[in-house]
Structure 1
């Protein structure tokens, strides 16, 4: 599949060294959480992408640097049982052309 400026490749690490490629459109205003859900990943997203539930928690493993998390996102992340320096809420990551090559891992919901 050839990519143009309106698509990016994002990789989800399912197990160490095992990555699944997701091709995501950049022109629809979608979040990474929405793209991962549409690709069959088990994300509850009970808050609908408002950074209130933490069920879309991912760890950014590699790729382009992201914008700093908002105060709301940081507050939610700090309440989660498992947190790393690279933790983010995928509902707060918008799919843009600069996300091409991003690698994330879906984090467990409990410690």
Structure 2
């Protein structure tokens, strides 16, 4: 089953994309697969919560997984931090996230 996610890229352009819920992907991988950020500027650490290059702002009221200690520590060191900041690599694509709205944080 695919869900719809609204992603605003770093240029402010809104993309409505389909994301599969049956492939164990995360939000950072969806952004990369649709090439919504230049190669080498997102998911630099490969999704290990070690670089914050996939930081995004969650603009919808979806219930997300609780933030891990690693994610919390990485965001504490990130630039452009907002109250709704999360690491895309730490948000698994699940059917409950249908309609999720995010904006990619500026490149550091």
Structure 2 length as normaliser, TM-score?
0.89
Q: Deviations over 1:51-78 (max 9, x none)?
A: 0011000000114121221010000001
Spell out the pairing of 1:81-100 with structure 2 (5 A cutoff): 81-100=79-98
Runs of 4+, deviation exceeding 3 Å: none
Distance 1:63 1:40 in 2: 25
**2:8–2:15 Cα contact (<8 Å) kept:** yes
Residue 35 of structure 1 corresponds to: 30
What is the RMSD of the two structures over their aligned residues, measured on CA atoms? 1.2
Unaligned runs of 5+ in 2: none
Distance 2:92 2:42 in 1: 18
- The total of aligned residue pairs comes to 103
Q: Secondary structure at the match of 1:94?
A: coil
Q: Which one has the largest radius of gyration?
A: 1
**1:63–1:101 Cα contact (<8 Å) kept:** no
Unaligned runs of 5+ in 1: 1-5
Residue 55 of structure 1 corresponds to: 53
Residue 62 of structure 2 corresponds to: 64
